[in-house]
Amino acid sequence: MPQWYLYMVRCRTGTLYTGIAIDVSRRLEEHRKNGRKGAKYLRGRGPLELVLKSLIGSRGLALMVEDRIKKLPKSRKEQLVEHSRNCEINWGR
């Protein structure tokens, strides 16, 4: 069973984009190429910086965590980014 990651990308404008992927490096390259496979939101907002990458586990759990994070205010997302630099985040695995 593939392992899913949650990732956050900081745009040139300072906004944070949250997504999930099995291969975060590949997904980030898709976003950076501004092609059809990348997220529309990220087009033209580069350069993009990966600021958080965390192993979640199953796709279902990754989708739930992603949804919850997307609903957080930016200040709380920034706290998650800062916390992830200091230690691994446990998402309830």
Contact 9, 42 (CB under 8 A): yes
- Residue 50 C-beta-side C-alpha neighbours within 13 Å: 18
Examine residue 62 and state whether it is found in any structural domain, yes or no. yes
Q: At 9, which CATH number?
A: 3.40.1440.10
Q: Has residue 33 been placed in a domain?
A: yes
Containing structural domain, residue 69: 4-86
Kind of pairing between the strands at 16-21 and 49-57: unpaired
Q: Given a cut of 80, is residue 39 above it in pLDDT?
A: yes
Report the number of distinct structural domains present in the chain. Answer: 1
- Torsions phi, psi for 73 (to 5 deg): -70, 160
**At residue 79, does pLDDT exceed 80?**
yes
Task: Report the predicted TM-score, pTM, of the whole model to 2 decimal places.
Answer: 0.88
In this prediction, residue 27 carries a pLDDT of 95
Give the mean model confidence (pLDDT) for residues 67-72.
Answer: 97
Burial of 28 (0-12, 13-18, 19+ CB in 10 A): buried
pLDDT of residue 92: 56
| pLDDT at residue 26 is higher than 90 | yes
- Asked whether residue 93 is assigned to any structural domain, the reply reads no
Is 73 part of a structural domain of the chain?
yes
Say if 26 falls within a structural domain.
Answer: yes
